[in-house]
A = this chain, B = another copy of it.
Amino acid sequence: MAERFEIVEKALLKMLEEKKYAGLRDILLVMNPSDIAELFYGLEEQRIPLLFRLLPKNKAAETFVEMEPDAQELLIRSFSDNELKEIVDELYVDDAADLVEEMPANVVKRILRQADPEMRRSINQILRYPENSAGSIMTTEYVTLRPNMTVEEAILRIRRQGVDKETIYTCYVTHDRTLVGLVTVKDLLLAQDDEMRISEIMLTNLISVTTHTDQEEVARMFSKYNFLALPVVDGENRMVGIVTFDDAMDVIEEEATEDMEIMGGMLPSEKTYLKSSAFELFKNRIPWLMLLMVSATFTGLIITAFEGALAAQVALTAFIPMLMGTGGNSGSQSSVTVIRALSLDELEAGDVLQVLWKELRTAILCGMALAVVCFAKIWLVDRMLFGNSDVTLMVDLVVCLALAVTVVVAKIVGCLLPIGAKVLKLDPAVMASPFITTIVDALSLLVYFLFAKSLLGV
């Protein structure tokens, strides 16, 4: 699929170079706007306006929406006022709002000047809602019906108004601007009688969100209820917009990316990887690295405190990385699982005892299995194969006991910290591997040295 597209891409760029504009236009006519937008990516700057002007009128706006902000800005600067107006008029309000959010102030002014008053009002309304709220991703273009309309009148209204609406398939029934019901086009088409009133066939057990609902919760509702669109109301239950499934899909992907970034010990990024500069990556990555490096002072202190023990039994040092590594991995397994379950609403803070009991049993199984294999491995490989006579039976025993206890401690810490974060209204994803590893490192060293002290008497 992807390879086939690259072949087409190369051919088209060659046609552009060779000025075969007529042929190029014919092909653009049947291409999908998302695919056309990809053509612009990597195109030399001076060719961007040229290729864009070749687009059929009805595809220009849709393609524009799918383009990268850099290319959009370049195009807007090269547009005449008339050209800009043509594009802006064709945009859906939520796309126009996205655009305005991305552009520098002087470009924004030009866009708003070209937008018609109604569009300008809608854009401003959306821009005033907090970032990541339902208000910020909604569109104000939806079909409204009145309760006393007949099915036939409703269909007629959709036919008249539908062209400019982002979705016509779910229509909202309002009374004095208050949301009272919804009707799908399917209901309308399948209605037995064209003279039935909307109030008779509309659904009244509505699920709606407010403008301030977090976009993550909105997305979660889409994946739970399989809606095409979700109505957004203000504090007085007055209908102000809709969120459509395609925006919810984007949110689901964004939120998963954000969780992964946080779990990897980074600040969430605004841009895609290839668009981020090395300095931006540095800024997102250095805070956690710095914090975790400094907090590793504790592990250093523990080792310094037991320096005597390590000097007396030199073999003990060699197993430190294995112990800390296995502890860290065990802890991050639990934390990743719990964090994901929390973010999918499969788990709540109230389930903490159930989680603890499950993790405890899992940890004991893992700890025992690892300890047994580790015991055999140390004896067979380190002692017999490599002939390291410092590795006595007692040393082997200390390592494996410490390993088993470390795994249990790590899994308990790994499952409790994300739930604790949730209770404190923090993002559980912060409590992922890097954070937990630092804590588990210190704990595993303590366990190790305590076993060494009591069993080896060092």
Contact = CB atoms under 8 A, between A and B. Distances in A.
B324 A317 contact: no
Contacts of A103: none
How many chain copies does the complex carry?
2
Given A336-B263, A358-B281, A321 B322 contact: no
Contact of A366 (B286, B301, B341, B374): B286
A430 to B, nearest CB: 14
Interface in A49-72: none
A313 to B, nearest CB: 11
A157 B303 CA distance: 78
Given A253-B344, A289-B329, A299 B272 contact: no
Contact of A324 (B286, B324, B326, B388): B324
Nearest to A189: B159
Interface stretch (A121-129, A219-227, A450-458): A219-227
A56 to B, nearest CB: 12
14 contacts: A34-B225, A163-B190, A265-B333, A272-B344, A274-B354, A278-B362, A285-B362, A285-B366, A297-B322, A299-B321, A300-B322, A303-B321, A311-B311, A320-B321
B290 A329 contact: no
Contacts of A256: 252-253, 256, 260
A237 interface: no
A270 interface: no
Contact of A358 (B278, B324, B403): B278
Contact of A292 (B296, B326, B348): B326
A318 B303 contact: yes
B205 A186 contact: no
Contact of A293 (B185, B266, B374): B374
Q: Nearest 9 A-B pairs (CB), nearest first?
A: A264-B336, A296-B322, A278-B361, A256-B256, A299-B321, A226-B246, A30-B205, A273-B341, A282-B365
